[in-house]
Structure 1
């Protein structure tokens, strides 16, 4: 048997099956019940909200053999033929391909003849705004005074392009884009009926990506089922859509709220490592801040959302003014992305702007490297540890009167023993230099010429501006005749970024195993039907055990 896509299989065949358009369905049902019929109907709305579907259901309601009714039987000859597209008195016209005046005249010439088998001869003209001006003029007379046996049903996504003379002759209904929770509920019913396992978080991703269109959501659901091998899982849907997901957005926002600059930049690099669109990342961050603002306004989030406790916990650490500032930074950051040197630079600068409003950085210190030694220079700075001295050039002190400027202190060279990841970790570089150093793998080091290899996925870090920044930092340790060469190609996963990512995954796996093995958690799962949400498990900072 040929597979039928979900968008066609689950196309509504009755008014009560239509999703989310109660205002239109109620009006049409009341008109049909009272026999107050108009000669021309106009359905407007974005793609996939049910315009053509509603037109076909209305055609059945007008031609059902049981009589004009808001509940067509769906079993008589007229209903079954309309469902299968074989009803001779129903003419569906695609105005996008029939735009000429001659085609419209030929179509309307048959309107004077009585219907062959039905009660009414019905013309459904889809995308009617695509008709030419001459074609509109040719149909005006028929549209204004059609024969009693003719009904026009027009559909368009752009009613502004219709002539006022046409609009004034139609009974207009505007179909609204559906809210994500409504679409998610519909997808849930479809999957339960199809017997396909799913995760609620995956449906939330799909309903948001559908942008109000039921048809788009079902098409995406078909794709998600194929991508997941017969199962709709949140992680696979997020990967398919290229969305960020809570496992990336939450840690980033928590680091920002805590004023943890290095942690926030590590989370930003994790997002970059997943090859996620930075515009999407900022959009999800703004969406999360909007939900936090609602909590601060006294509006409780839905109880069935898995991250509600996390939402309330982070809202307790913020105030209204700071949330508004962070939200504005996220929104304006999306606007500024095309103007940035590269997308990661634009995204990371948005994160750094958020960090500048952190309570832990009130004195204006560099958020990326909160080194105590640079906060307040004193005469005893010469006795500071070497690691602190290395941090001085990249984290200058705030501009204020001082008797001992930090910039005059020498940089202590760090010896290089061939272990590139360890060397980079000791340098504690940030910005462009830090990105290239962390994602690059050592290929060779001969005659003071250092050669790095960057994976293809991070080709942007091999660009000239990144190289110049890193070369300037390394020249402080290798001398003025130091040379740096960077190329892209296959890597073996031994860069500092790869090592840290692997360690992070191992800690996450260990934490998840510890949570699942906990006797109390096992009792909850077994006796009360509880479920462990993997994205809510995070290793503790001291590695003594997981947190959830």
Structure 2
């Protein structure tokens, strides 16, 4: 939430007076910028730490504030500047976590005109010369404030030379100087700088707190906003108070004073929750015709295809949380919670994970496709044809139950597409390796083929002798892979006793025997004697 900045100096200046005869309007993001720490939402841990540090006189000489956009980094920096320089209404106060906002330093800092609080935008002042000006200026005492404070926004934009020039001053600044750095990309700040700062990671603001804040702002603005509209704005803000207030500002203008969920949905190009639920039900029911009709209708209404897929992913995520027993989203309606509970009982974990992965792939396709609507259509069709397929674990349990003459559970019998074919455990070690290969565990299959000798094969028990180092978790990983491939729990152990050669060695020995047999053939011997420089390069088994 950055105030107006001079493009030439990078300093926050007082707002210019409005033109004569016009009323000044301040956007909500600036009008409701926090003026006290109590108004800073979602950062209680940081406020508590700062309060304790100020109360005990343990104030660091440099602070680094990091977090996503719009969580209050610059606002916090200004609040710290006020807290350190506040003198109270009577002019006798000291540093406090509750600045009075009445004394001259508090008012001047809030208005961006205090001569001892210097704000610099590192994005437009990246060079060493800009930092050199700071280094020269810090030697001089503050003009009127208790501390001379430098607020450098987006500090990660400084050049390497600029950081290096700042290091010494940053490590041992004069007692009257404090540095406040703000950045959205802390990973780009050199470690040498990080080690000289007290770091605060500002949290992404929870959606429910944003919704409360936006509802409060709407009340102060005397604007009627539907609760669902507030929830939609809070979700769209993605943890940023500034972004959410900007959306609310736009929604107020869009609605002419009143803000409804329908208006916000149209403004943001979102699909309503009812449409998302209907579409998800159609996908799970395998109704391609109606699902595509719903998709076409959403397209005609101007709903972004990517937004539609994100809505499906959000609904599926709610189902996942419900199935795992996690608390429901505080902003979700009773209908949404009921739908999530129904689907959580209806869908297995395998189906949920498969649908999620396919939606994620579909979203990526939509974002790169020349025609997003066509990509969304193909993604929905893939979902429809995959929605009723059983997951591999359910299929293997069914096959094993049928092979044993048993019966599957009601949930497994309800799974469409489950074959009733008879299956049984592998007959030999080679068949076991083939089953593991078929389940996708290619590395394990290769290790079994090349690097182990068979000691005992007695399903469901397997004893192997490693011919090469295989890692400490080999037996555990192999047992898990065998259970997944055969739907049977195996006991796997490793031994140093006598064993068969590895299958790879057996194949090599068989090849050598076959080669020796060919070379022993009288006709081959005659050819080799007639042509001494000739050699056997290859042969065809069984050739006459």
- TM-score computed with the length of structure 1 as normaliser: 0.63
Residues 339 and 133 from structure 1, CA distance in 2 versus in 1: closer, same or farther, beyond 3 angstroms? closer
TM-align CA RMSD: 2.1
Shift of 1:296: 2.3
Shift of 1:285: 0.2
Question: What secondary structure is seen at the aligned counterpart in 2 of 1:99?
Answer: coil
Distance of 1:93 and 1:341 partners within structure 2: 42
The correspondence for 2:72, drawn from 50, 57, 70, is 50
Counterpart residue number, 1:33:
55
Question: What secondary structure is seen at the aligned counterpart in 2 of 1:112?
Answer: coil
Deviation string, structure 1 residues 155-200 (Cα, Å, up to 9, x no partner)? 1111222222211111111112222222222111211222211112
Shift of 1:25: 1.2
Distance of 2:102 and 2:180 partners within structure 1: 23
Question: What secondary structure is seen at the aligned counterpart in 2 of 1:301?
Answer: coil
1:185 paired to 2:188: no
The correspondence for 2:347, drawn from 308, 314, 318, is 318
Counterpart residue number, 2:27:
5
* Paired residues of 1:196 and 1:230 also in contact (CA < 8 A): yes
Counterpart residue number, 2:490:
none
The correspondence for 1:120, drawn from 130, 140, 147, is 147
1:334 paired to 2:363: yes
The correspondence for 2:85, drawn from 48, 63, 78, is 63
Deviates most, 275-284 or 290-299: 290-299
Distance of 1:64 and 1:244 partners within structure 2: 49
Counterpart residue number, 1:94:
121
Shift of 1:304: 6.5
Counterpart residue number, 2:169:
142
1:205 paired to 2:232: yes
- TM-score computed with the length of structure 2 as normaliser: 0.63
Distance of 2:232 and 2:331 partners within structure 1: 16
Shift of 1:264: 1.4
Shift of 1:300: 5.1
| Structure 2: tracts of 5 or more residues without a match | 1-22, 88-92, 391-416, 418-544
1:106 paired to 2:133: yes
Residues 293 and 103 from structure 1, CA distance in 2 versus in 1: closer, same or farther, beyond 3 angstroms? closer
* Paired residues of 1:44 and 1:156 also in contact (CA < 8 A): yes
Distance of 2:343 and 2:201 partners within structure 1: 40
Shift of 1:204: 2.0
Residues 99 and 298 from structure 1, CA distance in 2 versus in 1: closer, same or farther, beyond 3 angstroms? closer
* Paired residues of 1:44 and 1:155 also in contact (CA < 8 A): yes
Counterpart residue number, 1:256:
283
Distance of 1:287 and 1:177 partners within structure 2: 18
Distance of 1:256 and 1:216 partners within structure 2: 33
Shift of 1:328: 2.1
Superposition pairs for residues 411-490 of structure 1, below 5 Å? none
Distance of 1:318 and 1:158 partners within structure 2: 40
Residues 33 and 250 from structure 1, CA distance in 2 versus in 1: closer, same or farther, beyond 3 angstroms? same
Distance of 2:367 and 2:115 partners within structure 1: 54
Deviation string, structure 1 residues 221-267 (Cα, Å, up to 9, x no partner)? 10111111111211111111111221321111122233323221211
1:221 paired to 2:259: no
1:346 paired to 2:368: no
| Structure 1: tracts of 5 or more residues without a match | 363-397, 399-548
Shift of 1:303: 7.1
Shift of 1:358: 4.8
Residues 300 and 45 from structure 1, CA distance in 2 versus in 1: closer, same or farther, beyond 3 angstroms? closer
Residues 189 and 119 from structure 1, CA distance in 2 versus in 1: closer, same or farther, beyond 3 angstroms? same
Shift of 1:14: 1.0
Shift of 1:49: 0.9
Alignment length, in residue pairs? 362
Counterpart residue number, 1:23:
45
1:75 paired to 2:97: no
Question: What secondary structure is seen at the aligned counterpart in 2 of 1:93?
Answer: strand
Distance of 2:180 and 2:366 partners within structure 1: 44
Residues 199 and 159 from structure 1, CA distance in 2 versus in 1: closer, same or farther, beyond 3 angstroms? same
Name the larger-Rg structure.
2
* Paired residues of 2:152 and 2:182 also in contact (CA < 8 A): yes
* Paired residues of 1:257 and 1:317 also in contact (CA < 8 A): no
